[in-house]
Amino acid sequence: MNVEELRDFCLYKKGVTEEFPFDEHTLVFKVMGKMYALIPLERKPPQCNLKCDPERAIELREEYDGQITPGYHMSKKHWNTLFLDNLSPDLIRQLVNHSYDLVVSGLTKKLKEELDALPSQ
């Protein structure tokens, strides 16, 4: 999966915005204002940081040694860095969904209601 395909997949989700809050090279995707994915655009090979359940994060790092690592410049407990060239598109989509769902589950009741009220894409 290339960066453009990943961007399209991230943006397709309900309540998602994209922005560059840190610098002009790090694309951030947020659901209802909360980060769930970061793509450093100038990194080679292409990478993505995704939020992950801590136990699952450890399992993924062991199973995909060197392809999924602790989140670069992120909380190592809650974020993973994925090297996109080395992983299947299906796995990447699954992990994007997991990250999105984790963030949505942590939203306040008010934000969840606002998200639910948004039209489906």
pLDDT at 21: 92
Tell whether the model's pLDDT for residue 31 goes beyond 80. yes
- Tens-place pLDDT, residues 71-113: 877 777 899 999 999 899 999 999 999 999 999 999 999 999 9
pLDDT at 115: 95
- Provide the residue count of the chain: 121
Domain residue extents for the chain:
3-116
Rounded CA-CA distance 12/120 in Å is 9
Q: Which range is least confidently modeled, 26-35, 61-70, 112-121?
A: 112-121
Q: How confident is the model at residue 55 (pLDDT cuts 50, 70, 90)?
A: very high
Rounded CA-CA distance 44/53 in Å is 26
Q: Which fold has domain 3-116?
A: Aspartate Aminotransferase, domain 1 (3.90.1150)
Tell whether the model's pLDDT for residue 52 goes beyond 90. yes
Going from the C-alpha of 59 to that of each of 3, 10, 63, 87, 116, the distances in angstroms are 25, 23, 6, 15, 32
pLDDT at 62: 94
Average pLDDT, the chain: 93
